[in-house]
């Protein structure tokens, strides 16, 4: 938690590596979001590959068409839907920072 790191330490570290504290925090946030995006994309791709789908709507269509049973795949569907939502939020925020 950033509150646990005294502001003086952040300021000192940033100065030593040639950044303002704001630049350091911004660059750190960009790196964190980038890393998290890669992790989420891997999970999304695994589910896409498993069910040969692209979007949560495609997953729902599998239920409608009777290709898969909800009882066997509901957790994957919920996870996939949540990951898609998370991906959209992170990509949007990442674009604002970059």
Please write the tens of the pLDDT for every residue from 32-88. 999 999 999 999 999 999 999 999 999 999 999 999 999 999 999 999 999 999 999
> d(Cα 26, Cα 35) in Å, to the nearest integer?
14
* Mutual angle of helices 21-51 and 56-64, in 10-degree steps: 20
pLDDT digits (tens, 9 = 90+) for 62-76: 999 999 999 999 999
Name the token pair of 97: 């920072």
The whole-model pTM stands at 0.81
């Amino acid at each position: 938690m950033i509150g646990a790191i005294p502001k003086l330490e952040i300021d000192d570290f940033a100065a030593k590596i040639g950044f303002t504290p704001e630049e350091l925090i911004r660059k750190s946030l960009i790196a964190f979001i980038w890393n998290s995006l890669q992790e989420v994309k891997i999970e999304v791709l695994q589910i896409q590959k498993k069910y040969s789908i692209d979007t949560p709507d495609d997953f729902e269509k599998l239920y409608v068409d009777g290709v898969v049973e909800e009882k066997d795949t509901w957790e994957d569907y919920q996870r996939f839907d949540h990951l898609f939502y998370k991906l959209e939020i992170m990509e949007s925020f990442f674009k604002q920072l970059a």
